[in-house]
Chain A
Amino acid sequence: MKNNSMKKAFGGLILDTSFRILVPFTLVYGMYILTHGEYSPGGGFQAGALVAVGIVLVRMIQGGDKDMFNVSGPMAVVCAGVGTFIYAGTGWLTIFGGGLFLDYGALPVPMHHLAELHALGILMIEIGVTVCVMMTIINIMDAIIERLDDDLEEEVECDGNNH
């Protein structure tokens, strides 16, 4: 049955094809940029934008309520804050490990090489940045969609009063 659910069409050839080609590659590419961030310039911000684009595409193609990644409303706002908190939490972890704020060499993790600890610290803060950027973009899209829905409701109400 699971195979059947993947083969089912959403609505038209163009939407199906773009969904199946664009969304997986966008998400995988976002994850690649995130995990490769230590070796390439940037990282978190770009990865967040890419993953958010993937989720926005899913929501635009599949519609509001029954899409695959249904994170919206208060939960999305909380997640954006959690992303920022992961970043600050990494800084506090290094304080508990006996170092300075964001001094990755002092992370309380059993690793011997300083370079490994720094790579882990950079990955942690970039995960935080990614979550924050992703959820912020989704929040703004949610707000715009809500406004559109409100406007549509108003128009329907006005039409009802007139006739």
Chain B
Amino acid sequence: MTRVLTTILMTAVTALFCFCTVFLPPIGDPNSAPNQHVTPYYIENAKEDTGSPNIVTATLADYRGFDTLWETSVMFVSGLTAFLILMNSTEIGDKIMPKKGEKGGAKREE
């Protein structure tokens, strides 16, 4: 039941995200909102504002530092998830299943 619900939810969210791309401006469109205000400002002021000679670094680490913070957090959490799945599951045939009681940590401590 949980698996069916998860599948439906994931499909719906993916479809929603794919549908939203219709409203994005085309790549390289000079009339889109970010290309009219934000990008020229970054190109003109990145050197004085951040002291970094590289606009990519200035944008990534300084103007958009908050975004990179959560990028790092997402990487940490996804790595932790992969770690936990690998540590706490066992391979049955070609499926990866959660570990059963006798193989888990509770028995091993005794």
Contact = CB atoms under 8 A, between A and B. Distances in A.
Contacts of A142: 83
Given A42-B56, A43-B57, A118-B52, A147 B76 contact: no
Interface in B62-79: 62, 65-66, 68-69, 72-73, 75-76, 79
Contacts of A143: 82-83, 86-87
Contacts of B66: 91, 101-102
B61 A140 contact: no
A44 to B, nearest CB: 8
Contacts of B83: 77, 139-140, 142-143
B38 to A, nearest CB: 17
Contacts of A133: 72, 75
Interface in A1-46: 37-44
Contacts of B65: 91, 102, 125
Interface residues of B, number: 27
Contacts of B61: 37, 43, 121-122, 125-126
Given A39-B52, A140-B82, A143-B87, A91 B69 contact: yes
B56 A84 contact: no
B91 A151 contact: yes
A80 B57 contact: no
Chain B binding site: helix, strand, loop or mixed by DSSP?
A: helix
Contacts of B87: 143, 146-147
Contacts of A42: 56-57, 60
B79 A136 contact: yes
B30 interface: no
B14 interface: no
B49 to A, nearest CB: 8
A150 B52 CA distance: 49
Interface stretch (A53-61, A63-71, A108-116): A108-116
B82 A87 contact: no
Contact of B52 (A38, A77, A101, A147): A38
14 contacts: A37-B57, A80-B76, A81-B76, A87-B72, A91-B66, A104-B50, A114-B51, A115-B51, A118-B50, A122-B50, A128-B72, A133-B72, A140-B79, A140-B83
Given A37-B57, A101-B66, 5 more contacts: A39-B52, A42-B57, A118-B51, A139-B80, A143-B82
